[in-house]
Amino acid sequence: MTYDISENHKRALYSALRKKELRPTKQRICVYNIIMSKKDHPTADDILNRVRKNLPTISLATVYNCLETLVDCELVRQVNFDRSSTRFCPNLTPHAHFKCSETGNIFDISLDEESIRSLKAVLPKGYKADNFELSFAGSKTISSN
């Protein structure tokens, strides 16, 4: 059973854009594909460099524009660590992040239903959260990934 995973991505992209009456330009398609094709946490600048392999003349402003669009469409997520440059994340499932202080690498930490429930349970009555961010910093003893 082999299927083209990027066909699914393409469908998701087109339908999300159509919903907001936005156009599937080659820049948006390319930025989206680049993010989906590697499960890491690139900055806008990383993305610019990767995208330029296919679209050598794309500008940084356009990369920022595309990223904003993709985030608005909930096709990719934004991650911020302190005030270092924003990173973008293809993982749409609820998860936390772990930043290794030694290498700077960022890892996704998956969260099960139970964890998410206990997370949201810390909010007192009267607080309605639309979203949350949980991030850890520290060192990783086992180096996988």
Partner DNA sequence: ATCAATAATTAGAATAATTCCATTTTACTG
Partner DNA sequence: CAGTAAAATGGAATTATTCTAATTATTGAT
- Measured from the CB atom, is 1 or 129 closer to a second copy? 129
- Measured from the CB atom, is 81 or 115 closer to DNA? 81
Binds DNA (CB under 7 A): choice among 24, 71, 96, 134: 24
* DSSP H or E stretch at residue 48: helix 44-51
Q: Is 101 near a second copy (CB under 8 A)?
A: yes
**Would you give the binding string for a second copy spanning residues 113-132, x where CB under 8 A is met?**
--x--xx-xxxxxxxxxxxx
Q: Is 85 near DNA (CB under 7 A)?
A: yes
Task: Say which amino acid occupies 105.
Answer: N
SS3 of 98, please? strand
Two structure tokens written together for 18: 């159509």
Residues 6+ apart with CB under 8 A from 24: 13, 14, 17
Q: Is 103 near a second copy (CB under 8 A)?
A: no
- Residue 43 is classified by DSSP as B
Q: Which residues bind DNA (CB under 7 A)?
A: 22-28, 43-45, 55, 57-62, 64-66, 68-69, 83-86
